């Protein structure tokens, strides 16, 4: 985490490799940026697919706010971005729900989840 200009050179170098998944994203509550480096296959989407198979689930509903949620949204049957999510993420969402500051996920679950 730091200033964009301090992170961008390393980000540009690593994003060009096939070994890593990299994400540079502005932090919501400050002027700093997050620089996330993971093995290429270590995404929320890949992890959920493994869990879906192990747990024998047939439907995935996901919620998110950041760019690192895009792989998860792409494999979900339904995906909901909170109102204050990154604009790029919203392009992949089934719908937009209330912001996380207004308990958007909890409200969606309360109104839509039935046992």
pLDDT in tens, 55-82: 999 999 999 999 889 999 999 999 999 9
Phi and psi, residue 104, nearest 5°: -55, -45
Look up the pTM and report it. Answer: 0.73
Which domain, by its residues, includes 109?
Answer: 43-115
49 with 32, same domain: the answer is: no
Q: Where do the H-state alpha helices sit in 1-115?
A: 4-15, 44-55, 70-75, 87-90, 104-112
* 68 and 96 co-located in one domain: yes
Burial class from Cβ neighbours inside 10 Å (0-12, 13-18, 19+) for residue 47 reads middle
- pLDDT band at residue 115, thresholds of 50, 70 and 90? low
Q: What is the pLDDT of residue 18?
A: 83
Per-residue model confidence as pLDDT tens digits over 16-44: 888 888 888 888 778 899 888 888 788 88
Is residue 91 domain-shared with residue 113, that is, in the same domain?
yes
Count of domains in the chain? 2
């Amino acid at each position: 985490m730091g200033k964009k200009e301090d992170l961008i050179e390393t980000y540009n170098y690593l994003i060009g490799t096939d070994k890593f998944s990299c994400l540079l994203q502005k932090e919501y509550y400050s002027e700093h940026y997050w620089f996330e480096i993971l093995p290429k296959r270590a995404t929320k989407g890949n992890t959920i697919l493994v869990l879906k198979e192990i747990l024998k689930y047939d439907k995935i509903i996901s919620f998110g706010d950041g760019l690192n949620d895009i792989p998860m949204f792409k494999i979900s049957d339904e995906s909901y971005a909170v109102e204050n999510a990154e604009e790029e993420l919203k392009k992949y969402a089934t719908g937009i729900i209330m912001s996380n500051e207004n308990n958007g996920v909890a409200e969606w679950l309360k109104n839509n989840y039935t046992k």
